Amino acid sequence: MLRRDLGRTGLTVSVPGLGCMGMSEFYGPADEAESRRTLAEALDLGYDFLDTADTYGLGHNEELIGGVLRETGRRGRVVVATKFGIVRAPGAYARTLDNSPDYIAAACDASLRRLGLDAVDLYYCHRRDPAVPVEDLVGAMARLVAAGKVRALGLSEVSAATLRAAHAVHPITAVQSEYSLWSREPEAGMLDACRELGTTFVAYSPLGRGFLTGALDVAGLAAGDFRAGNPRFQGEALARNRDLVAALAAFAQGRGLTPAQVALAWLVNREPHVVPIPGARRVARLAENAGAAAVVLSPAEIAELDALFPPGAAAGARYGEAGMAGIEAG
């Protein structure tokens, strides 16, 4: 698999990495046995960058990953990223944010227990609470590095200004935000800031929560799948977004690729410091996604895709009101 630097840590990670959220929550009921098989197969295929968070299944996702790493004996060959900062009640999507130093320390200890690790390789603030100064937030995270509990720091869904302020306190190894053909906001300054600072940009939902694959049956979404209430999957926005995906499918067919492979290859070919982390809940998707990293798109093909999906082309907000909490513009 293609490999890329993880910030300036000296580590490299697989491209793509693996987003694990859907194995526990948000995309309808998960199959525990299939999730375990998928994780084990991903490791066999060369995926070695696993992304989770304490809020995914309220700890279940971390426990799932920790269990598979123990069972397979692969801990030493995997970079595990997890996150703190989103606080929810069981079964609820509504959330509050907590970036207080005491909470950060307690959340890290809890994640280490669930993962069965001595140290988290990459520890993100999942969402920033604007009431907490960035110096206090990153200072508390840096103390975890000094204590040997965390190896590198990351931020999620922050602005370029916040990244620069945070990096002045402690090196920020990675920024994670949504980035795909239909969510191009990071191009308005964040990608440049990451390049300048030596920070890896980790692109989550690079397949538009499955929509860009062209295979998602929106009408058949299972109970509990948060996409059913997402503005991009509803009404007139859904109809307009289906036209975008039809254009992507036509482009992919002309190249003998799947739409998912084109969407991932677009990310990989545009920027050398971007690492997409598509989610997968079933073994069948792993090889397809991994193959995208080997696809070479010409400048003309990238320009064609840019024109098909210009910034702002997708209809509807990428989250509902609750999901936008803590997301910084710019």
- Per the DSSP assignment, residues forming a β-bridge with 15 are 2
The whole-angstrom separation of Cα 47 and Cα 16 is 7
Cβ neighbours around 26 below 10 Å, total: 17
Q: What is the pLDDT of residue 155?
A: 98
The answer to whether 138 and 99 have CB atoms below 8 angstroms apart is no
Q: Any idea where the domains of the chain sit in the sequence?
A: 2-324
Two structure tokens written together for 322: 């609750």
The whole-angstrom separation of Cα 51 and Cα 279 is 9
Q: What is the pLDDT of residue 74?
A: 82
Q: What is the pLDDT of residue 4?
A: 98
Report phi then psi at 23, rounded to 5. -75, -10
Q: pTM score, two decimals?
A: 0.96
Q: What is the pLDDT of residue 182?
A: 94
Below-50 pLDDT ranges, the chain: none
Q: What is the tens place of the pLDDT at every residue in 116-165? A: 999 999 999 999 999 999 999 999 999 999 999 999 999 999 999 999 99
Q: What is the pLDDT of residue 223?
A: 83
The whole-angstrom separation of Cα 11 and Cα 308 is 35
Q: What is the pLDDT of residue 33?
A: 95
Q: What is the tens place of the pLDDT at every residue in 65-96? A: 999 999 998 878 899 999 999 998 887 778 89
**Catalytically active residues, by annotation:** 56
Q: What is the pLDDT of residue 326?
A: 80
Tell the CATH superfamily of the 2-324 domain. Answer: NADP-dependent oxidoreductase domain (3.20.20.100)
The answer to whether 231 and 263 have CB atoms below 8 angstroms apart is no
Q: What is the pLDDT of residue 224?
A: 83
Q: What is the pLDDT of residue 75?
A: 79
